[in-house]
């Protein structure tokens, strides 16, 4: 059940039976089903992506309201470049407009924007607006909103290995010193906590090359609705289910 406009964070958590410490610090979302949602309604696929922007806004604002520390959204995968050229052009324009139109929401909610992924191949106008929004929100100290754009988990690991190889070649790193911490510090997500909760919509049960290193111990929650239908009540249900789970990290409790 969504919150009423007058409901405070404390009231929402009490209604859901949650304590602040039971919330995930970092939620990652695979926003699936935009095109499928549109096709089911006889609409162009891009219309599903347009409607999905509303779900992004709702999710960002609700995570801010509930005190989530970081939200990472899978916006564009490297595999998405296989789509038809017209759809890609429309997606790039939609992304550019999002980076402009959501600045008020970002600043109003004290959100700090971050972006991960390779910039190669992105249109210059998208990169320009991305840089403006990154700079504008740089000093905000509220929730971190991380957009994964032209992102692939395997590519991220490849880039990390290349960086560490260069450091070893230049005598800056002893290969024997390489451990999980050093690898994590070479990833795009350095200085970010690993996701505690991974949400995927449209009923799909795969991780799709998303944050492969970082989700090693994330709890996975699958919503049956397509992303344009994802609303506050779905996010809240994921939090309730997350709080009920016993996280062992490979060990034993009790």
Annotated binding site: 32-37, 45, 49, 77-79, 81, 83, 200, 206-208, 219
Report whether 222 contacts 204 (CB < 8 A). Answer: yes
Among the listed residues 32, 109, 150, 196, the single catalytic one is 32
Count of C-beta atoms within a 10 Å radius of residue 245: 10
Which residues participate in the annotated binding site for substrate?
33-37, 45, 49, 77-79, 81, 83, 200, 206-208
Q: Which residue among the candidates 80, 140, 159, 209 is catalytic per the annotation?
A: 80
Tell me, yes or no, if 32 is annotated catalytic: yes
- Residues annotated within a binding site for Mg(2+): 32, 219
* Bridge partners for 149 per DSSP: 76
Q: Does 241 qualify as catalytic in the annotation?
A: no
Q: Which residues of 112-125 are buried (b: 16+ CB within 10 A; e: fewer)?
A: bbbbbbeeeebeee
- How far lies 48's CA from each of 20, 96, 200, in Å? 34, 17, 16
Contact 70, 144 (CB under 8 A): yes
Catalytic residues: 32, 80
């Amino acid at each position: 059940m969504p919150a009423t406009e007058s409901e405070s964070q404390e009231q929402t958590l009490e209604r859901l039976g949650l304590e602040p410490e039971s919330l995930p610090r970092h939620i990652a979302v695979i926003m699936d089903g935009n095109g499928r949602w549109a096709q089911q309604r006889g609409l162009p696929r891009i219309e599903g992506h347009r409607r999905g922007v509303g779900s992004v806004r709702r999710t960002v604002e609700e995570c801010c309201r509930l005190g989530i520390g970081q939200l990472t959204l899978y916006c564009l995968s490297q595999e998405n470049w296989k789509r038809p050229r017209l759809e890609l052009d429309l997606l790039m324009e939609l992304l550019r407009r999002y980076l402009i139109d959501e600045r008020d929401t970002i600043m109003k909610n004290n959100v700090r924007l971050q972006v991960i992924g390779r910039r190669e191949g992105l249109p210059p106008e998208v990169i320009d607006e991305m840089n403006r929004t990154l700079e504008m929100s740089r000093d905000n100290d509220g929730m971190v909103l991380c957009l994964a754009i032209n992102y692939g988990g395997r590519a991220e690991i490849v880039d990390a290995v290349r960086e560490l190889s260069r450091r070893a070649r230049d005598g800056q790193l002893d290969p024997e010193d390489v451990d999980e911490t050093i690898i994590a510090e070479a990833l795009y997500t350095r200085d970010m906590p690993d996701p505690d909760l991974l949400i995927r919509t449209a009923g799909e049960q795969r991780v799709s090359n998303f944050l492969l290193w970082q989700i090693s111990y994330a709890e996975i929650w699958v919503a049956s609705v397509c992303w344009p239908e994802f609303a506050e009540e779905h996010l809240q249900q994921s939090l309730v289910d997350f709080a009920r789970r016993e996280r062992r990290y490979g060990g034993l409790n009790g």
